[in-house]
Amino acid sequence: MAKGNGRNSDKQGSGRPTMTDVARIAGVSQSSVSLVLNAMSGSRISQETQQKVREAAHKIGYKLPATRGPVAAAPTVEKDTIAFIVDEISTSPHPVVSLDGIRDYAFEQGLLVSAHATRSNPDLEEAVLRSVLRDPAIAGVIYATIFTRKVSVPPALKSIPTVLLNCYCEPRQHVAIVPGEVAGGFAATAHLTALGHKRIGFINGEPWMDAAMDRLKGYKQALATADIAFDESLVRDGDWLPLRGYEAGLDLLAMDNPPTAIFCGNDLMAIGVMEAAQERGLRVPQDLSVMGYDDQELARYTHPPLSTLVLPNYEMGQKAAEILIDMAIHGKHTRPMTIKVDGPLVVRETTATVDRR
């Protein structure tokens, strides 16, 4: 569907005007249009906006389905909902933040989002897909995973516009939105090298995970860019939890030539490292710089506040919704590709120059 902005595009061809047309002309969301035209009580929509909605509806001859006269065929159900299907949502903040990004962008475009967690249960996923695919209001699907990984996309999704979020498939069949983990590992480590650190420890996540492998690549690339030789003895595998960060931190700090800075694969392990430093009588950042990753809410409330790198879940969700709406609502053809979204560095108070030591 063309989006045109001129007066001639107020009515899409000779088809029946829709709530989407009213929302576009009035410059409001479909939800606002629905509230106004249904005369819903309790809404806080201004009189000016209500008048704009009514004038737009009158201009193109739009009436709510319940107020229309009899028609020969049943009215077409408007596709106004995105289905967000994720394997897990309650055990990590990351998919919830992605859902926030999807919801906010979709609502700006007049669409709603239905969320479905499958718990990696094939039977539950199959039931969700059956329900989604027979719902005429579903415009498309965002198929997501709690951690970045390769997936086998359900064949049923070939029949509906689909965008992959935080996952990908090989060979490429859909647009996939993933975090730029190599760039993130590079940026976090480069921040430390720019402060003059040459012995930088790295406590990674579980080594089989895509995120851990890519953050390690970024760490190595940043060292090479700064002409610092990679030292495998400064790398420890972790499990994303504070206790492992604490244990690995103690191990690194007990070395004969300990690191002056430690980069952790996530904020939780960084908190464990800060505890280890305190136990050994080291001050952060005066004696040891600590760098996290993810920028979870708690990173702002450590003592001192944790320097980290944003895992851009919200922006990834927005991008997935934008591409899906372009495909499903506006008819835009998008070839299968992988789009990497980079997160910014957040410098707080746990990193400092070597000179300060």
In the chain the beta strands, taken as DSSP E runs, fall at 81-86, 112-117, 138-150, 162-168, 175-179, 200-204, 235-237, 261-264, 289-291, 308-309, 338-341, 345-346
The CATH homologous superfamily for domain 181-310 is Response regulator (3.40.50.2300)
Q: In this model, does residue 74 exceed pLDDT 70?
A: no
* CATH hierarchy code of domain 81-179+313-341: 3.40.50.2300
**Residue 293 contacts residue 311 (beta carbons within 8 Å):** yes
Tell me the per-residue pLDDT of 40-63, one tens digit each, with 9 for 90 and over: 555 567 788 888 888 888 888 877
Is the C-alpha dihedral spanning 112, 117, 122, 123 positive or negative?
A: negative
Percentage of the chain exceeding pLDDT 90:
72
Could you give phi then psi for residue 311, rounded to 5 degrees?
-90, 110
Amino acid present at 112: L
At 189 the pLDDT is 98
**Residue 180 contacts residue 340 (beta carbons within 8 Å):** yes
| Residue spans per domain, the chain | 81-179+313-341, 181-310
Nearest Cα to Cα of residue 190 among 217, 215, 223, 213: 223
356 or 306: which carries more pLDDT confidence? 306
Confidence (pTM): 0.76
The string of DSSP codes covering 57-110 is HHHHT---GGGS---SSPPPPP--EEEEEES--SS-SHHHHHHHHHHHHHHHTT
At 42 the pLDDT is 53
DSSP class of residue 310 equals: B
**Residue 107 contacts residue 136 (beta carbons within 8 Å):** no
Q: Do domains 81-179+313-341 and 181-310 have the same CATH topology?
A: yes
Compute the average pLDDT of residues 149-170: 94
- Cα–Cα distance measured from residue 135 to residue 95, given in angstroms and rounded to the nearest whole number: 24
Nearest Cα to Cα of residue 291 among 196, 231, 201, 179: 201
